[in-house]
Amino acid sequence: MDEPPAPPRLTREMLLGGALADMIARASPEVRVLTAAERHASLRAALAHRPEQGDGIWLFAYGSLIWNPTIRITEERAAVAQGWHRAFCLATRAGRGTPENPGLLLGLRPGGSCRGAVLRVAEADMERELDVLWRREMITGSYTPRWVPAEDHSGAKLGHALAFTIEDTSHGYAGDLAEAEMVERLATAGGELGTCAEYLFRTCEGLQRMGITDAALERIATLVAARQAARAAVQA
């Protein structure tokens, strides 16, 4: 039997054409999608609070931006964002989930620290590339863009990086989930852009490529892989 075709990867063209926003609107008609004017105002507000001026800005990547940025960057470095940690705290009914089986995506929550990457966007490209990024991250207002302090792994300060932190009043905020529920949803949920398990595994691989080990994320990945293997054995 032929393998089913792989789901399309999220691309720059999909974002510019509005396909991701349309996907979310179809799956969650009760959720208000931001207008183009609202996205633009959010972007302008973020840039108005830019802490440092210079040749471009840093973006802090902690999930899929590490392995599929969809924007043009000039540099990538391993980095730490102090005062924030990554967590599977955003439910998704589109892309990597369905209304019947919502998936989970990563968000930045207050407290601790997060090892990830900073991506450099050139000054000349900044507004164009951030417009693409806002079409990806700011469709429903589930995230709040913030300038977070970042440093490299030796502790040297890199200044501030723009990061998308979770908005805990948003419709999709999942809060604190029990580990068993988190694993089940990551192991079973999927949608038009692929599975949550792929999202998790590729994030782990992206971190490993940069020499980063996130023990908590690796534990979840191990449990998800085991759950998938158990389901496959039952279905065989």
Catalytic residues: 137
- For residue 150, the Cα-to-chain-centroid distance in whole angstroms is 18
The burial of 210, by beta-carbon neighbours within 10 Å (0-12 exposed, 13-18 middle, 19 or more buried), is given as middle
Query: CB of 126 within 8 A of CB of 55?
Result: no
d(CA 146, CA 203): 21
Question: Reduced to 3 DSSP states, what percent helix, strand and coil does the chain have, rounded to the nearest 5?
Answer: 40, 30, 35
Residue 96 CA to residue 197 CA, distance in Å, equals: 9
Taking a C-beta distance cutoff of 8 angstroms, is the pair 136, 20 a contact?
A: yes
Nearest partner of 196 among 184, 214, 211, judged by Cα: 184
| Six-digit token string for 91 | 């439910």
Report how far apart, in Å, the C-alpha atoms of 70 and of each of 13, 97, 133, 136 are: 9, 21, 8, 9
- Asked if 70 and 12 touch (Cβ cutoff 8 Å), the reply is yes
- On whether the CB atoms of residues 194 and 170 are closer than 8 A, the answer is no
